[in-house]
Amino acid sequence: MTTPLRLGTRRSQLALTQSQHVADALTAATGVPVELVHITTEGDRSAGAIAQLGGTGVFVTAIRQALHDGLVDLAVHSYKDLPTAPEPGLALAAVPAREDPRDALVARDGLTLGELPAGSTVGTGAPRRMAQLRALGLGLEVVPIRGNVDTRMARVVGADELTPGVGGDLDAVVLARAGLTRLGRQGAITETLDPLQVLPAPAQGALAIECRADDARTTDLLAVLDDAATRACVVAERTVLSVLEAGCSAPVAAYAELAEGEDGDELFLRASVTALDGSDGVRASTSGPAGDAVRLGRELAEELLDRGAGALMATGR
């Protein structure tokens, strides 16, 4: 009998859904059974804002420790939650094909962003979204919120439909479309936001599957789940984040797409940094061979820094 692989995951509905999807895909491709191991992280224990909890890594440290300790064999993370620096002793063994990386609006009465009246309250947990929404100049009151997908949505649609004890006190919330899709909540979306309006977070919609670097068996098994196109895009996006020395709580956005060029796949990368109050921002773009993802990300980040991105990030803290 084949020994099951132990997959470490957070207990949230979205994390469990993502992890089960990976477990099922891995078993279908390799025949190896996978069992989920629930792990509570610092981000799960606190209701404070992510930036106040230390920013990047609050959802992954405990899971990574379980990997190091041999309590689990692999872990599934929302890629955008990972620190940009590699974790010694662990390998990023697979980056599966990602869901739609764009942001999505869930608004009362089926409204789009442009249809919300001035003064409408819009909730989001990401400084990046808050900054870009304010920069649109629509007169919206953008407020920080925490909680899982259903809790956030209930702030708009009301407690009776989703979460007991949470009232519909907001006019809209902005969430990652990928999470809504994975949970089967895409029917609640009233508008998928164009990246020209709100540029996604680096690696949004992508999953990262880690295992111990010296675990050759698990590394080899996970290789079947890796998607080269997705990996190239998120490497470029997260290189921007790394060079800017920013984390997932910074108002930094980056979005890469692949398209067929004359000499093979070409990567198109856009990135931005926006002041938290929306008063100023810088955007830039570049393109080049998919194999040059790191170089493209580095050069674009350096261009943003040359145009004042560092000062904008400093005012957003």
Q: Which residues are catalytic?
A: 81
Q: Return the half-sphere exposure (C-beta side, CA atoms, 13 A cut-off) of residue 288.
A: 14
Three-state secondary structure of 83-110: CCCCCCCEEEEECCCCCCCCEEEEEHHH
Exposed, middle or buried by CB within 10 Å (0-12, 13-18, 19+), for 308? Answer: middle
Who's near 264: CB < 8 A, 6+ residues apart? 289, 290
Which token pair is 17?
A: 């859904």
User: How far from 184 is each of 99, 157, 179, 189, CA to CA, in Å?
Assistant: 13, 16, 9, 11
Question: Phi first, then psi: what are they for 195, rounded to 5°?
Answer: -60, -20
Asked if 182 contacts 18 with a C-beta cutoff of 8 angstroms, the reply is: yes
Pair 153, 179: CB distance under 8 Å:
no
Q: How open is the CA angle 184-189-190, to the nearest 5 degrees?
A: 160
Could you tell me which of 80, 7, 70, 68 has the C-alpha nearest to residue 39? 7
Give exposure, 113-144, as e/b (b: 16+ Cβ within 10 Å): beebeeebbbbbbbbbbbbbbbbeebebebee
